Amino acid sequence: MDLRQMEYLVAVADERHFTRAAALVGVSQSGLSASIRALEGELGTVLFDRSTRRVEPTDAGRALLPYARSMLAQATRARDAVVDATRQVSGTLRIGAEQCLGIVDVAALLERFHHRHPQVDVHYSEAGSHDLVARVRAGDLDVAFVAAAEHLGALPGRVLGGEDLVLLCPPGHPAAALSPARWADLEDHDFVDFHPSWAMRPLNDAAVAAAGVDRRVRFTVGDVHTLIGFVGRGLGIAVVPRHVAAKPEAQRLVAVPIEGGAGRWTVSAVSAQRERADSPAPHLLALLDGAFAACLPARHEGPRPEAGALVDAAQM
């Protein structure tokens, strides 16, 4: 038995699927399957019951799992001990975030991280939350800051905070006089909204479906400032997190509360289920725990969100 086999065993047990497990650990499905078969041959027993729809650990597999997890945890602690002993963190941190999250200032966090670990090269990218979650799953990102991603599955996640949503309207628009607005009042108006990969779009679609109304999304955008500009030109109204309505670019627009709420804008930090051996990601997440208050956006309004504990992202 070796650490790689233990990693594959845990991945298959967690994902209940060989293809997803292989994608999670970054190997081919055939390679992962061959490794599991070799482990079963070494132990003289079957570790998984395989079917076309689902994979389940056998009694032997369940008996081995705690020891496999312990071996992986011990290996991680051993690597961390070496890093701590040398007092030198290096390597590459691959991080992504959705634009203008509002709950955490990622630039401020990375500034503190760089001062503490100047030898780390940071590769930063912006995309919609759903695309970022897919990239974390695929192993292309170490950490991502995402919003309202309800499909995180087994990815480790840390909830950072949340805020209400509001309706953003140009002055003089009929909806600007509503207080609060109801979805039924908005059915005949044009909307500006984000691409479906952005967290806001599925939130809005779910709220509309729950209210039992239809809406017209005339303009689909992929940038917060473009959305504000389109609303300002009267091309449509938009439902956005409160911090977007508080931006200087939106100061002449009208923010209207929505009756009964319209979902909740929740921001989380998600990370790879199994970090690369040399990943600086744990150091970033540790810094996030200790310095969250210093990394709030300067223009954040309303109650200060509290840094959440590590949770199973499936419960978020």
Q: Where in the sequence of the chain do the CATH 3.40.190.10 domains occur?
A: 89-162+265-315, 165-257
Asked if residue 303 has pLDDT above 50, the reply is no
More confident residue, 122 or 53: 122
**140: DSSP letter:** S
Phi, psi angles (nearest 5°) of residue 61: -60, -45
How far apart are the C-alpha atoms of 143 and 285, rounded to whole Å?
A: 9
CATH topology classification for 89-162+265-315: D-Maltodextrin-Binding Protein; domain 2 (3.40.190)
pLDDT computed for residue 312 by the predictor? 30
Mean pLDDT across 152-180:
85
Mean pLDDT across 13-40:
87
How far apart are the C-alpha atoms of 195 and 199, rounded to whole Å?
A: 9
Contact between 143 and 213 (Cβ < 8 Å): no
CATH topology classification for 165-257: D-Maltodextrin-Binding Protein; domain 2 (3.40.190)
CATH topology classification for 3-85: Arc Repressor Mutant, subunit A (1.10.10)
pLDDT computed for residue 188 by the predictor? 87
How far apart are the C-alpha atoms of 175 and 182, rounded to whole Å?
A: 10
Mean pLDDT of all residues belonging to the chain: 82
Percent residues over pLDDT 70 in the chain: 83
pLDDT computed for residue 149 by the predictor? 64
pLDDT computed for residue 213 by the predictor? 86
Contact between 4 and 32 (Cβ < 8 Å): no
pLDDT computed for residue 151 by the predictor? 63
Residues in the chain: 316
Q: Which amino acid is at 18?
A: F
The tens digit of pLDDT for each residue in 89-134 reads 788 899 999 988 888 888 888 888 888 888 899 999 999 988 999 8
3-state secondary structure of 107: helix
Contacts of 246 (CB under 8 A, 6+ apart): 255, 299, 301
pLDDT computed for residue 310 by the predictor? 28
More confident residue, 53 or 61: 61
Mean pLDDT across 206-228:
90
Q: Where in the sequence of the chain do the CATH 1.10.10.10 domains occur?
A: 3-85
pLDDT computed for residue 37 by the predictor? 92
Contacts of 292 (CB under 8 A, 6+ apart): 104, 160, 307
In which band, very low, low, confident or very high, does the pLDDT at 14 lie, cut at 50, 70 and 90? confident
Residue bearing tokens 């990622």: 106
Q: Cα(first)–Cα(last) distance of the chain, in Å?
A: 35
Q: What is the dihedral of CA 274, 278, 284, 287, to 10 degrees?
A: 110
Mean pLDDT across 13-36:
86
∠ CA 135-304-181, rounded to 5°: 85
**304: DSSP letter:** P
Asked if residue 304 has pLDDT above 60, the reply is no
Asked if residue 137 has pLDDT above 90, the reply is no
